Amino acid sequence: MDRYILVGLIAFMISVASGCNMLTPVPSATSFPASSTFSYARPDDVGLSCCKVESLAGRVHKWVKQGKIVGAEVIVIKNDKIVLHDALGWSDREGRIPLERNSIYRIRSMTKPFIGTAVLILAEEGRLSLDDTVARYIQSFDNERSGGITIHQLLTHTAGYVQGVYPSDYWNAPTLREAVDKIGRMGPHHPPGESFRYSDLSTATLGALVAEITGDPVERFLESRIFVPLGMSDTHTFFAPNVVWAARMNSTYKRGWFGWKRYWDNTKKQAAPFFRASGGIYTTVFDYARFLSVWMDYGKYDGGRILSRSSILEALKETSTANYGCHWSIYNDSTSTKELCSFGHGGSDGTIAIAYPKLDMLFLYFTQSRGTGTLNEFSAAVREIFKP
């Protein structure tokens, strides 16, 4: 057994024997950013059962021990208090580098809620209507196939695009706008408005739409209107091996015939030359938790408001049979139109974050182990243990 995994398992067994003592990690320079609005506490300090928190931690330890994931960082927050924060396994399996707390991850499709938020901000400012057609802003959509697609259909993945079917030379486009122009000329694969079909093409188009309306790249809008106001200093939209935070990036793995295979690490450039609005953000568990907490607080943050209460509630309504709202996954709907449902999102490189407003709790589970099935297992474990 790997030495670091063994150490983690021993620590977990000690925690089970001694109550909550091992579940309240000591903050350090690498585990707790100074800008964070969260603080550490014992589970029983916020009315939680230590056994429940230990049970969730034990699931993640078991997945590492079984080799189901290469490594993971898991964090549970209750009432803005961190009651579990664990990092275990490997950041670089071949280099024998342990995964550390406050690492930076490729969160892939967890980028989508940021793009959705940007669109909703513009809607509140009257710079667009969700019922507008995309063709009103992007000329390449002004054709028989794409002309009827609305912004709301893109937000709810009902525009007719399917996942994984890209226009010819899409990834060779030098800019996001030129890639999206190819989407508009190609047209949707099914009639717009017919049904829910998740697709990166919908989000890419929304990113180009934000840029067209604001006159700035969408990533600049995200930075100025979301990342900076919310204090998300560890959130980025571009990676190259020479960025100052490259050493904090985790390698990314997928299973092959002979076990885990590393298919990306911090010595490689990002694949697309442009910002992938559908999945191009790099961030930490702390920063993403901050973003979730603002949504859970109906759009409010220290010193301001990112969206109105009504926009938050409307965006988190299920708009299809697929448990999806406006660029958020819906995990269990509220029975009241005046209360928030549970929401979050996952990413294909092995990350997930879920907010449970009724419990005032956030659950984040970040790996870089692709296609393992543990994202579903994690969300199921949360529901089983905490019964939101």
Domains of the chain (ranges plus CATH)?
Answer: 3-107+230-386 (3.40.710.10), 113-227 (3.40.710.10)
Chain centroid offset of residue 331 CA: 14
pLDDT tens track for 259-277: 999 999 999 999 999 999 9
Ramachandran quadrant class, 312 (left: phi over 0; alpha: psi -120 to 50; beta: rest): alpha
Cα angle 322-328-333, degrees, rounded to a multiple of 5? 60
pLDDT-based confidence at residue 322 (cuts at 50, 70, 90): confident
Give CA–CA dist 50/378, Å, rounded. Answer: 18
The secondary structure of residue 38, as a DSSP letter, is -
Pairing of strands 39-40, 81-92: parallel
Q: What is the mean pLDDT of the chain?
A: 91
pLDDT tens track for 144-170: 999 999 999 999 999 999 999 999 999
Flag whether pLDDT at 16 surpasses 70: no
Chain centroid offset of residue 332 CA: 18
Helix axes 3-17, 50-65, angle to 10 degrees: 160
Q: Which residue has the higher pLDDT, 82 or 32?
A: 82
Burial environment of residue 336 by CB neighbours within 10 A (0 to 12, 13 to 18, 19 or more): exposed
pLDDT tens track for 68-103: 999 999 999 999 999 999 999 999 999 999 999 999
Q: Which residue has the higher pLDDT, 14 or 167?
A: 167
Cβ atoms of residues 180 and 134 within 8 Å:
no
pLDDT tens track for 98-107: 999 999 999 9
> Which of 63-67, 129-133, 334-338 is the least confident region?
334-338
The average pLDDT across 353-367 equals 97
pLDDT of amino acid 20: 59
Cβ atoms of residues 308 and 121 within 8 Å:
no
DSSP calls for 209-258: HHHHHHSS-HHHHHIIIIITTTT-TT-BS---TTSTTGGGBPPEEEEETT
pLDDT tens track for 276-306: 999 999 999 999 999 999 999 999 999 899 9
Give CA–CA dist 316/295, Å, rounded. Answer: 10
